[in-house]
Chain A
């Protein structure tokens, strides 16, 4: 008994912080529909501020006040205003990307501002952390543990009183059910939502400050772990129940310590503990929100954009061509301008698809430059861009075309790279064959991820894949026969018979060929019948299966192919670099990949290629700055989410659409003088009342 308690009591403080995090997540999710993963980052910012201020000589209470009740809510409110308020009714991925971008960007921004991580041991919120204040059944309770428990109990009690016994609490419970109905009662639902957001930001800030002294130094890594445990507890709470979030957090905190205490040290123990959140997620996610009450006024919203907007954006054949021509309005305009008929010459097609022409011209120029005058270091960056372009293409297939949000794409890529490296160096396989084998094993891993997550979609699927990425980081990649921990694996550049790809330019061509092949595979899938099935599945899985599409098989297949392509991309990257370490493909890279893909453009293969090049070029550009600014790329991605909330189709498709529109206007102006100016869109407004009226 005392032994059990001896493990359990140190688990309680962890449980408290997990619970605070989970409560924050649940509170914003129920009141605003956004699952704010950036709370992990907000907790870090508050924790860092607390410790930094104290190391600057501030009194503890002042530092705590500033970090928890000023900084926490200020950051939260700013994010709500600038980002989240715009996406409340958007599709799951549009809601997720800004919070992911911030999760990556905020800690780096804070570190850049702070200059350095304070080296002092973080103190407890109050009391003396080391001193033993009491004994429970013979188990000592330190000031650290006591302070965390007291603080948590106090704020949770405060929250419950607020929710049950105050007008604001009543309003918050009503907003959960229907913000519109609340507005009809004369209450500003937006303000109620913002208040909930402020409160939950305080919870995140408090969690961050309380977590700091549990480790010897403040480290962003620990805050991601906190976030993941918090997510697990929020999932136990079915995203809706605050008492269950508290209970779930405590149970997980205690459970992980007890497990760690009883299990033998070694891989099982060190691997099992980090995988606990993943197991919890898989067990609890399928339950979802049980008897969720529908918003009675949902009928005031226009149909969700996935059905109307995307049907126009993701035209299977044209949109997945390089440099997709989006904007049906523009299509209509230039059709009219040209009087284009069904059969037309190549030249007429070129005029009609200006973005395709421009995209191919740019691509050809880039390849020519790479093969002639580009200096070696930039050629390397371009080749890296092609390798990552392959990984991005895999996301286009999985997330862009099929609507499956994957936060473990880097794990697939990493597995491909590590397997290829092991086969090439340990077994002496030819590198190209090893790379293909790596891709195949990654595809197998894709199936392994797809199977237990078959019933998940949207946010739950994203969380499950995130948990899987962490599992891979903690359990799969450290083992010696795979990623081999810190030492990593070597992977030489390949050769086919006499043709050697060791030099930079031949390798560039190899990378280009692999990218084109994977892009071709994805394009074929997108243009064919499968593409239409995927599109149907993307709209609604239930509807798709009701018309006889085997959604399970489709999902497993698409996960396998996507993971396989990512694996080949990972092997390609490894071979280019000469070696790989697990950090090259950890969960954080997965998040970055999805954010970059979404910002640049998930809807087209052209977007994926551009994303690869942007990703590596930016990193290279920032590498020339002093080390303090190493996190600048992450900050840039975070800022880019600001544009993303306005143009969720991505920069590439947005620009392509704008360009085609301009082009069409230009053509129109040439054909019929004055047409582009005073009669922009002569829409037949006769009786589109009960049909679709194009704007």
Chain B
């Protein structure tokens, strides 16, 4: 771990699914404790970036560094052990396990047996609703509660980097505020954030920087204030006219 190194550094990344190339030479970085929003149209490659960063999809070329350490080609579990939590797009919990088992699974692996109790308490304090349903199987939770549970994995002990993909998808506005408040708190504890969002406005309020992807390439990278006015054009590409 190099002092002063970015929490996440993505350098010249490309990735493919079989014969389908999804990313081309993507580079950006996230400073420690900073929040970066990754925006783009459907299919732009946002989730793919998140998956390559956390080791779910192999990088075809380029490097991924976490806190200065090269993790390209590492297994997802090794990257997770380095303090990276990934809340994936869609369902990101084990339906067949209970709420508590979902959390224990993560905490035991990352914090060891001794840390589990305290971490559980912190998670349930952040989302009391989960505490009430701790014995219920996660598959029977509502969509919003499942998102909370997925996020709660990061709350037990704040990771160095939290990657969140479409956190607010399908959530009621009140719940959106609740989960974003949780994100704020994690960030205050020094965790860097990589946020993938369709709902750009909400993400921009939190983010220090915005990276815009189009068809698998980075087309803009800068502070929200600077990019916000022309974001539509950046995301969708130059119009026909």
* A interface residues with partner B (beta carbon < 8 Å): 167, 170-171, 173-174, 176-178, 180-190, 293, 296-297, 299-303, 305, 308, 685, 687-695
Contact A297 B21 (CB under 8 A): no
| Interface range on chain B (Cβ under 8 Å from partner) | 35 or more
What is the 8 Å Cβ interface bit string for chain B, positions 59-83, against chain A (1 contact, 0 not)?
A: 0000000000000000111001100
CB distance from B135 to the nearest CB of A (A): 14
Contact A693 B16 (CB under 8 A): yes
Known interface pairs A177-B96, A185-B110. Does A689 touch B24 (Cβ–Cβ under 8 Å)?
A: yes
Chain B residues with CB under 8 A of A300: 51, 56-57
Contact B56 A170 (CB under 8 A): no
Contact B19 A693 (CB under 8 A): yes
Show 20 A/B contacts (Cβ-Cβ < 8 Å), sorted by A: A167-B108, A170-B97, A176-B96, A180-B56, A181-B92, A181-B94, A183-B55, A183-B56, A183-B76, A183-B80, A184-B76, A184-B80, A186-B81, A186-B109, A296-B90, A297-B56, A299-B89, A301-B17, A689-B217, A693-B16
Known interface pairs A184-B56, A186-B81, A308-B19. Does A174 touch B24 (Cβ–Cβ under 8 Å)?
A: no
Interface pairs A-B: 3 shortest CB-CB = A302-B18, A183-B76, A186-B80
Q: Which residue of A lies closest to B109 (CB)?
A: A186
| B54 within 8 A of partner (CB) | yes
Secondary structure at the B interface, as helix, strand, loop or mixed, is mixed
Known interface pairs A300-B56, A302-B20. Does A184 touch B95 (Cβ–Cβ under 8 Å)?
A: no
| B43 within 8 A of partner (CB) | yes
Chain A residues with CB under 8 A of B95: 177, 293
Contact B91 A296 (CB under 8 A): yes
CB proximity to A under 8 Å, residues B1-46: 16-22, 24, 43
Given A183-B55, A186-B80; 13 other pairs, CB 8 A cutoff? A174-B105, A184-B80, A185-B105, A185-B153, A186-B110, A299-B47, A302-B16, A302-B17, A308-B18, A688-B21, A689-B21, A689-B217, A693-B19
Chain A residues with CB under 8 A of B21: 685, 688-689, 693
Contact B55 A689 (CB under 8 A): no
Chain A residues with CB under 8 A of B76: 180, 183-184
Chain A residues with CB under 8 A of B85: 184
Query: Once bound together, how far apart are the Cα atoms of A208 and B154, in whole Å?
Result: 46
| B147 within 8 A of partner (CB) | no
CB proximity to A under 8 Å, residues B132-156: 139, 153
CB distance from B85 to the nearest CB of A (A): 8
Known interface pairs A170-B101, A170-B105, A185-B106. Does A296 touch B88 (Cβ–Cβ under 8 Å)?
A: yes
CB distance from B121 to the nearest CB of A (A): 19
| B224 within 8 A of partner (CB) | no
| B209 within 8 A of partner (CB) | no
Chain A residues with CB under 8 A of B89: 299
Chain B residues with CB under 8 A of A302: 16-20
Query: Once bound together, how far apart are the Cα atoms of A296 and B88, in whole Å?
Result: 9
Query: Once bound together, how far apart are the Cα atoms of A211 and B217, in whole Å?
Result: 62
Chain B residues with CB under 8 A of A305: 18
Query: Once bound together, how far apart are the Cα atoms of A296 and B93, in whole Å?
Result: 8
Q: Which residue of B lies closest to A687 (CB)?
A: B215
Chain A residues with CB under 8 A of B139: 293
CB distance from A266 to the nearest CB of B (A): 49
| B216 within 8 A of partner (CB) | yes
| B104 within 8 A of partner (CB) | yes
| B86 within 8 A of partner (CB) | yes
Q: Which residue of A lies closest to B77 (CB)?
A: A183
Chain A residues with CB under 8 A of B81: 186
Chain B residues with CB under 8 A of A299: 47, 89-90
Chain B residues with CB under 8 A of A694: 19
Query: Once bound together, how far apart are the Cα atoms of A695 and B216, in whole Å?
Result: 18
CB distance from A685 to the nearest CB of B (A): 8
Query: Once bound together, how far apart are the Cα atoms of A303 and B43, in whole Å?
Result: 15
Contact A186 B101 (CB under 8 A): no
Q: Which residue of B lies closest to A312 (CB)?
A: B19
Query: Once bound together, how far apart are the Cα atoms of A177 and B21, in whole Å?
Result: 28
Please indicate which of the listed interface residues A181, A188, A296, A302 has the most CB atoms of chain B within 10 Å of its own CB: A181
Contact A692 B20 (CB under 8 A): yes
Query: Once bound together, how far apart are the Cα atoms of A180 and B94, in whole Å?
Result: 11
Known interface pairs A181-B92, A693-B20. Does A174 touch B153 (Cβ–Cβ under 8 Å)?
A: no
CB distance from A149 to the nearest CB of B (A): 31
What is the 8 Å Cβ interface bit string for chain B, positions 159-185, against chain A (1 contact, 0 not)?
A: 000000000000000000000000000
Query: Once bound together, how far apart are the Cα atoms of A688 and B92, in whole Å?
Result: 31
CB distance from B117 to the nearest CB of A (A): 14
Please indicate which of the listed interface residues B22, B51, B81, B105 has the most CB atoms of chain A within 10 Å of its own CB: B105
Query: Once bound together, how far apart are the Cα atoms of A180 and B51, in whole Å?
Result: 11
Query: Once bound together, how far apart are the Cα atoms of A297 and B90, in whole Å?
Result: 9
Contact A184 B54 (CB under 8 A): yes
Chain B residues with CB under 8 A of A188: 75, 77
Contact B96 A171 (CB under 8 A): no
Chain B residues with CB under 8 A of A691: 20
Contact A690 B75 (CB under 8 A): no
Contact B216 A689 (CB under 8 A): yes
Query: Once bound together, how far apart are the Cα atoms of A308 and B19, in whole Å?
Result: 8
Chain B residues with CB under 8 A of A693: 16, 19-21
Interchain CB contact (< 8 A) of B86 among A170, A184, A301, A688? A184
Please indicate which of the listed interface residues A170, A300, A301, A691 has the most CB atoms of chain B within 10 Å of its own CB: A300
Chain B residues with CB under 8 A of A185: 77, 80, 105-106, 109-110, 153
CB distance from B188 to the nearest CB of A (A): 23
Contact B105 A171 (CB under 8 A): yes
Query: Once bound together, how far apart are the Cα atoms of A328 and B215, in whole Å?
Result: 27
Interchain CB contact (< 8 A) of A689 among B22, B47, B93, B97? B22
Chain A residues with CB under 8 A of B56: 180, 183-184, 297, 300
Contact A187 B97 (CB under 8 A): no
Q: Which residue of B lies closest to A694 (CB)?
A: B19
Q: Which residue of A lies closest to B159 (CB)?
A: A186
Query: Once bound together, how far apart are the Cα atoms of A597 and B16, in whole Å?
Result: 32
Contact B17 A178 (CB under 8 A): no
Q: Which residue of B lies closest to A183 (CB)?
A: B76
Chain B residues with CB under 8 A of A177: 94-97
Contact A690 B43 (CB under 8 A): yes
Q: Which residue of B lies closest to A171 (CB)?
A: B105
Chain B residues with CB under 8 A of A308: 18-19
Contact B24 A186 (CB under 8 A): no
Query: Once bound together, how far apart are the Cα atoms of A366 and B155, in whole Å?
Result: 72
CB distance from B57 to the nearest CB of A (A): 5
Query: Once bound together, how far apart are the Cα atoms of A180 and B89, in whole Å?
Result: 13
Query: Once bound together, how far apart are the Cα atoms of A185 and B152, in whole Å?
Result: 12
Interchain CB contact (< 8 A) of A186 among B18, B93, B94, B106? B106
Q: Which residue of B lies closest to A309 (CB)?
A: B18
